[in-house]
Each structure stands twice: as C-alpha cells, then as structure tokens.
Structure 1
Amino acid sequence: MAEIHLISDGKLELGRFVSLAAAVHPLVDFIHLREKNRSALELLSMAEQLLRAGIPASRLVINDRLDVALAAGAGAVQLAWHSLPPAAARAAAPGLRLGRSVHSAAEAAEAGRQGADFCLFGHIFPTGCKPGQRGRGLALLEEAVRSTRIPLIAIGGVEPENAGQVIRHGAAGIAVMSGICGADDPVSAARAYRLAVQEA
C-alpha cells in the first residue's frame, strides 16, 4: 500500500505539532521532524516528546540530523541535498532507514546506488512552500521512478484531489506538509489523503 509521510512545517508551536502528530499518526505511515531553525538539542526534545505521545520510534524520521536520529532512537533519517551522502550515513548508522531528497532522475539513481532506502522526489506540483517555482510534474516523476530500484515518495503540492495521479504515475507514496499541518481539521485531512491513496 502507498505510504503517507507527514512532514512538520516548522511553523507550529512544539506542543501543537506533538498533539497533531499524536492525533493523525494512525492515518499516516511516517512522521518527519523537519525543523531547520531548531538546534540539535531542541530537535532531540521534540523527538522525545513525540515518542512519549505514542509515535512509534520506527515511524519517526529526523530530517538532516543523523546524530539526533541516533540519539532519539528514531527509525530513519531524511538526508537533504546538503546532508551527509547516503553512503557515509550508511557507514555511520548501518541499521537506520535512510531517505534522500532528490530533484531529478539522476539524483534518484545515485541515491539508490549509495544505499538510500527511499527518496523524496519533488516538488511535483506548484506549492506555497516554493513560491514562483513550477512543479516538476508527473512525467519527470515517472522518469525518476524508472531510474532507480528504491521507492520514490512524491512531495510538493500533493492534495487529496491529485494524490491518486501521483500513485498511478509510479510513486510509492506521498509526503504532505501544509495539507495536514495547515488544515483546520488535520485528522479529516489525513483521512482524505489516506482514502485517496487507497483508491489509487
């Protein structure tokens, strides 16, 4: 079944995000802590609060910070373009699930060669997170899917109305940020995404 990755948007107050994640985690597969402006100590505190709120460690992903992922006992780390390359991260943490953020078929293929377990590919559609930038589109998503053996998770402008298209073009799942974090009713939003990927 297609995966749903919820990614924190860096805008919510800590307690609010922890409450949101605890409420929606039965409807999503992974929860990413992507808080670029927080220190390692703050990230570790956030991770620990998520775990205490009932988020399984195996479903917690720390963005960029391999050290925090290991310290928190998280199941995975998401490597950005400026992070350690997957091969170096794999050598340092052989038991950790590794994601890699990629933006082209060539980058997706290289991530697979270096030992990443999955990629986040995007952004697929125009999104408020990348104002003024055109989405890469479904054709480039298909090309990236064909280029690598590891699963690709589509990110960027994915909504319940277009999530099915993304899955039918080969994505192994979707990643959502504002679609859930910014929703008036995050649980209903997560439920709509789950239904969309199930139907696809």
Structure 2
Amino acid sequence: MKLHFVTDGRHSAESLVSIITDVHKFADAIHIREKDKSAEDLVELVELLARSGVPKSKLIMNGSVDAAVRSGLAKVQLPSHGLPVKFVKEHYPYLGAGCSVHSAKEAIQREKEGADWLIAGHVFQTNSKNGLEPKGISFLQTVCESVSIPVYAIGGITPGVLPELKKLKIAGAAAMSYVFSADKPVEAAKELARKLKGGTAVEDIL
C-alpha cells in the first residue's frame, strides 16, 4: 500500500517547505492542496520545494491544473466540483489525473471519464470535516469494488485505523491532519509509514 500526504492549507509557504522537506521521504506522494494560494504562489512553492531537494515526481498538484503545468508536474488531483477530468485528459493528455469522490456512483463516473486514480472519503472522523459524519469502511469497500483503478482512502487516517484499511483491496491512504497539524510532523509521518508498510522502506527508510 502507498502512503500519500496532503497539505492542509494552514501553513505559510516557508513552513510548508520546511515540513515537506522533512517528511517527503516517508511518503510515496505529496499533494499540494492549498486552496487560498494563487497559481503564482503554487508555482513558486513547487520551485522552493525542488530547490530543497523534494523531487517534483513526488508532487501532485490539487485543484490547479494551471499551476501543475507551469511547474512541470506530471500529476494533478481534481476536486469533486473542480475541472472535469475528461476536459483535463483531452487538453493535457500527458497529465496523470486523480479525482476526489464521495460515492460509488461518482467513482464509477470518474473512471469512465478517464481518471487514473481516486481518493475516496472522508472515511473516518477528522477535524478537517467537523460536523460531517464519516462514510466508514463499508463505503470505501463499495468504492473499491465498483472500479478497476487505484483507490486511496482519506479522512481520519491515523496509525490506529491502518489495520482496517489493510483488510481492503485499496491502493493506499492519504493523510492530512495527522501529519500537517502535528506538533512533530516528522514523527507522525514516520509512524504512519512504519504502520502502513510494516517496516518496509519508503525510499531510503529501512
């Protein structure tokens, strides 16, 4: 199973560079999900990360296809109410495109439209979705059984829920708050990687 980290939109560019530089080696991918930053800000952030040693191949731009293209990134994550994946695939066929989904019906439709992977949630209770009921493991299982492309779980991803996820045929998990809201992001990232991968290396982690 793969491990993705997703930024939470609560940090300055300088803080993000510092955190991502420290935690990226524990993840298979880092999603830049910064809704309040302009495309120019996102392009600059990617360049700062690259200069700090974070491979662009690990970065996935959330929401802003423009910023992804201008930054030379190969992958984008499309919000459920964002740019249609069909449009992205027609105009930028070289981009890998994932979609965020909240139902099996939506998952099936996004796969038909050309999505390369899906992020489904929110699965467990999370502070980033206060007041909204989590969809639960049964929802995630239904999504996985409904499509043939990779599915990643998001929402309340902590070391404690990983045993439940491992029972499903999913591609991996995407963690946001557990890492980016942590007092010690590196320790949080390391713990997730160890629990999810059972001691197997993510890059140089043995």
Q: Do they fold alike, i.e. is TM over 0.5?
A: yes
1:59 matched to 2:33? The reply is no
Q: What amino acid does structure 1 have at the position aligned with 2:52?
A: A
The separation in 2 between residues aligned to 1:121 and 1:188, in whole angstroms, is: 25
Q: What amino acid does structure 1 have at the position aligned with 2:176?
A: M
3-state SS of paired residue (1:129): helix
1:91 matched to 2:90? The reply is yes
The separation in 2 between residues aligned to 1:76 and 1:167, in whole angstroms, is: 25
Q: Residue 111 of structure 2 corresponds to which residue in structure 1? A: 112
1:128-184 C-alpha deviation (Å, 9 max, x unpaired): 111111110000100000000111110001101102212322221111111001112
The separation in 2 between residues aligned to 1:55 and 1:167, in whole angstroms, is: 28
Q: Residue 163 of structure 1 corresponds to which residue in structure 2? A: 162
| Structure 1 residues not aligned, in runs of 5+ | none
TM-score under structure 2 length normalisation: 0.93
Name segments (4+ residues, structure 1) moved above 3 Å: none
Q: Residue 149 of structure 1 corresponds to which residue in structure 2? A: 148
Q: Residue 189 of structure 1 corresponds to which residue in structure 2? A: 188
The separation in 1 between residues aligned to 2:30 and 2:178, in whole angstroms, is: 14
Q: Is the 8 A contact 1:126 1:157 kept in 2?
A: yes
RMSD, aligned CA: 1.3
Q: Is the 8 A contact 1:164 1:199 kept in 2?
A: no
The separation in 1 between residues aligned to 2:42 and 2:109, in whole angstroms, is: 28
Within 5 Å, give how 1:9-88 maps onto structure 2: 9-88=8-87
Q: Residue 129 of structure 1 corresponds to which residue in structure 2? A: 128
The separation in 2 between residues aligned to 1:164 and 1:91, in whole angstroms, is: 39
The separation in 1 between residues aligned to 2:33 and 2:100, in whole angstroms, is: 12
The separation in 1 between residues aligned to 2:36 and 2:106, in whole angstroms, is: 26
Q: Is the 8 A contact 1:108 1:144 kept in 2?
A: yes
The separation in 2 between residues aligned to 1:61 and 1:67, in whole angstroms, is: 13
Q: Residue 204 of structure 2 corresponds to which residue in structure 1? A: none
1:6 matched to 2:10? The reply is no
C-alpha deviation, 1:69, in angstroms: 0.3
> Percent identity at matched positions?
37
The number of equivalent residue pairs is 199
TM-score under structure 1 length normalisation: 0.96
